[in-house]
A and B are shown apart, each in its own frame.
Chain A
Amino acid sequence: MAIVTLQNVTYKYPLTEAPVLQNVNLQVNEGEFVAVIGPNGAGKSTLCYTLAGFVPHFFKGELTGIVEVAGVETHQSSLNEWVLNVGLAFQNPFNQISGAKYTVFEEIAFGLENIGVPRGEMKPRVEKALALTGISDLADRSPYSLSGGQQQRVALTSILVMEPKVLVLDEPTSQMDPIGTREVFGVIRTMAERGMTVVLAEHKVEWIAAFADRVVALKDGQVLLDGKPGEVLTSPLLEEAGFGISRYTSTARKAKEMGLWKKDQLPVTLEEAVEGFRS
């Protein structure tokens, strides 16, 4: 059952000539974890903003085609209704801290206060969300005193607490060290395992290969490839189009040319590479 449907979506920011998204068709099923990859400027962020309703409601500009989430069309909805269905977290965790709250607990409750959740319901929901992302111990700290990885988890938690149907993440680990990345991916994986629909724009292909159900490759605002991670991430088209690919894939491709890789399927992760070279 498709919860997100994009049909022939073309979008132009105000004051720009060329469209950022061109004829994008995309369906995401309920409970699916879809990763979106693409070089810089391919339209990943714009796609995320479109799913989250900020295109066209916040950025204005020209949107044609159909964007539908949970049976509602974007043009027939307003942003503050839309955000109840689709949660968005993005790159810079620092700018996602509201600045209106003095502790992490209050920061996470901010969204619930805004949509008028009664006080009695608020506390258990915040506590549950904190436990889910493993930051219960940060509840009384100031959000500004945290590390980047911790702040990003706070940003994620403050979206999760609102219980959106679809979670849209725009490179949530881009400015993070390996430890922060592992922390954030851990949270995303938990959410996906609990059946939340996740759309994740990300460069880190090895993580994507390990977690995602499907990968969509964007290039110049168009969908280049759409399929299983193992197929999309090892496609020869990717390297030609200037995508960052896994070092294990490129190593195995070289090895295949030299006759050292016997399998048809190329690896993306270290485990797959080790297994392939062993056989």
Chain B
Amino acid sequence: MHERLSFYVHRDSPLHRLNPLTKLTMVFAFILLSFGSPWYWTPHILIVLVILPLSFIGRVQREYLLTAARLIFPAAGFLFLMQSLFQPIGQTVWFRWWVLEVTHEAVAFAFVNAARIIVMVSSFTLLLLTTHPSELMSDLTRRGLPSQFAYVIISTLQIIPQMQAKAQTIIAAQRSRGLDTQSSFVKRVGALVPLVGPLVFGSLVEVEERAIAIEARGFTSSHAKTSLREIPDSRFDQILRGALIVSVLLAFVSRLWLS
């Protein structure tokens, strides 16, 4: 089957039904809260009590936990290790070994930073898993995002896999004519040269044709665009967005207050 560059999992859940802008607001609110809140445990609480339950509400817990186990936690773990070992802060030394010095402060700092990274990547993962890219873009276009910008994002998502397939075809064609792509590193780098020409110039020609094709369908028309998809924006969505913004503001204000 045709492959495409999208994480979207088609399911029916309250999270899927939320307006895309609400979910986007949620992502940025979580990130800002985990960085801006004056309370040390904020990012950790967000992960355990908000993001994890949300993945179940969105019925994408399997996909989310897989991504978390394969990508998010290993990356955050690596960051935690590096910062604990090399962060030159703090007096309370836990242990010393060779040039390494692990202090209580460095570990605490690393622990909150790792959690922040997890919040950041996790909330984006949840957004992408539960929001169809064209739904996100048409909602943002309706709210004033230039349609050219939305087009570039969406078409790139679809066209990159097509270009990969084309690159494979060109490589196969060159190999059938004796191009060496499997021996030493230098030779393999050299093998890229005859690939780049056809791929790049071919793509430039394609861009012109595609421009003609979408122009023939009124892409730059001066009429206000309409949308086939109806994207609900309920009262609940609006309240939720408001609440998220207020909580971020509160976090920042209390931080200023306390400092």
**Whole-angstrom distance between the alpha carbons of A119 and B225 in the complex?**
10
Stretch at the interface among A10-18, A76-84, A207-215: A76-84
Partner of B154, one of A99, A116, A119, A123: A99
Q: Is B216 in contact with chain A by the CB < 8 A criterion?
A: yes
Contacts of A106 in B (CB 8 A): 134, 228-229
Partner of A115, one of B210, B214, B221, B228: B221
Kindly supply a per-residue 1/0 record for chain A positions 19-63, scoring 1 wherever the CB is within 8 Å of any chain B CB and 0 otherwise: 000000000000000000000000000000000101000100000
Which residues of A (163-212) have their CB < 8 Å from a CB of B? none
Nearest-Cβ distance from residue B5 to partner chain A, whole angstroms: 11
Contacts of B229 in A (CB 8 A): 106
Nearest-Cβ distance from residue A91 to partner chain B, whole angstroms: 9
Question: Would B212 and A162 count as touching, CB distance under 8 A?
Answer: no
Question: Would B217 and A98 count as touching, CB distance under 8 A?
Answer: yes
Question: Would B222 and A80 count as touching, CB distance under 8 A?
Answer: yes
**Whole-angstrom distance between the alpha carbons of A78 and B132 in the complex?**
35
Nearest-Cβ distance from residue B45 to partner chain A, whole angstroms: 37
Question: Would A96 and B2 count as touching, CB distance under 8 A?
Answer: no
Q: Is A7 in contact with chain B by the CB < 8 A criterion?
A: no
**Whole-angstrom distance between the alpha carbons of A155 and B216 in the complex?**
11
**Whole-angstrom distance between the alpha carbons of A125 and B209 in the complex?**
26
Contacts of B220 in A (CB 8 A): 79-80
Kindly supply a per-residue 1/0 record for chain A positions 113-124, scoring 1 wherever the CB is within 8 Å of any chain B CB and 0 otherwise: 111111100110
Q: Is A101 in contact with chain B by the CB < 8 A criterion?
A: yes
Question: Would B132 and A54 count as touching, CB distance under 8 A?
Answer: no
- The contact size tier of chain B is 35 or more
Q: Is B11 in contact with chain A by the CB < 8 A criterion?
A: no
Q: Is B227 in contact with chain A by the CB < 8 A criterion?
A: yes
Known: A54-B215, A87-B216, A98-B155. A113 touches B225 (CB 8 A): yes
Question: Would A88 and B228 count as touching, CB distance under 8 A?
Answer: no
Q: Is B186 in contact with chain A by the CB < 8 A criterion?
A: no
Partner of B215, one of A83, A90, A92: A83
- The contact size tier of chain A is 35 or more
Question: Would B226 and A159 count as touching, CB distance under 8 A?
Answer: no
Nearest-Cβ distance from residue A138 to partner chain B, whole angstroms: 13
Question: Would B134 and A83 count as touching, CB distance under 8 A?
Answer: no
Question: Would B218 and A159 count as touching, CB distance under 8 A?
Answer: no
Contacts of B4 in A (CB 8 A): 102, 142, 144
Which residues of B (64-111) have their CB < 8 Å from a CB of A? none
Measured CB to CB, the residues of B under 8 A from A are 1-2, 4, 132-134, 150-151, 154-155, 158-159, 162, 206, 209-230
Measured CB to CB, the residues of A under 8 A from B are 52, 54, 58, 79-80, 83-84, 87-90, 92, 95-102, 105-106, 109-119, 122-123, 126, 142, 144-145, 155, 158-159, 162
